[in-house]
């Protein structure tokens, strides 16, 4: 039954990821990305890893997707759709994309790192307690410095995206 749920979540995740790339409307693309993130967090739950699942939901779905939606709403979407990112033919980019895909597929097939191994034993939850103590006791200053840098980047993005008042 777990394999069936995994296949369901993985299939929906791949479909949502393809929708992110194929969708013409950037808001639809951002919502498909959010659906993909939710499917990945469901896969984490199936793997008995609740901490990465919660982090996936809080950080990616909660924070980064809200930031993406703010940026999408601040730019003029109608004007951005009319502009081409790469002038000329898209054939070199398509050839490069196919070559990179073949290379990634070959690396996955021939790598020993992606072999099937037995999962590690699930702990009693003490690892989460140790991680949180380390993060908020030993590394509190770098954690807070990263939050200040992200806040400054957010304020800078809002100032740059604001239209002139004159």
Using one digit for the tens of pLDDT, what is the confidence trace for 7-41?
A: 999 999 999 999 988 887 777 888 888 899 999 99
124-133 long-range contacts, CB within 8 A, separation 24+: 128/51, 131/51
Domain 1-85 = CATH 3.30.70.60: no
What pLDDT was estimated at residue 40?
92
Q: Has this prediction a pTM greater than 0.95?
A: no
Kindly report, residue by residue over 31-85, the tens digit of the pLDDT. Answer: 888 899 999 999 998 888 888 888 888 888 888 777 777 777 777 666 655 655 5
CB atoms within 10 A of CB 71: 14
Q: Return the axis-axis angle of helices 2-22 and 26-46, rounded to nearest 10°.
A: 160
Contacts 24+ apart (CB under 8 A), 34-38: 34/61, 34/65, 37/61, 37/65
| Separation of alpha carbons 71 and 67, rounded Å | 6
């Amino acid at each position: 039954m777990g394999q069936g749920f995994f296949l369901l979540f993985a299939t929906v995740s791949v479909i949502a990821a393809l929708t992110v790339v194929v969708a013409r409307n950037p808001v639809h693309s951002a919502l498909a990305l959010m659906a993909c993130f939710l499917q990945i967090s469901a896969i984490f739950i199936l793997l008995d890893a609740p901490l990465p699942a919660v982090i996936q939901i809080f950080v990616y779905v909660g924070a980064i997707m809200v930031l993406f939606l703010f940026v999408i709403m601040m730019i003029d979407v109608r004007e951005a759709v009319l502009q081409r990112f790469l002038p000329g033919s898209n054939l070199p980019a398509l050839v490069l994309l196919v070559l990179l895909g073949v290379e990634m597929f070959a690396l996955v097939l021939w790598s020993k790192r992606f072999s099937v191994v037995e999962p590690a034993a699930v702990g009693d939850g003490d690892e989460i307690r140790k991680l949180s103590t380390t993060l908020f006791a030993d590394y509190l200053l770098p954690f807070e410095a990263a939050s200040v840098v992200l806040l400054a980047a957010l304020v800078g993005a809002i100032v740059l995206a604001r239209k002139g008042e004159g």
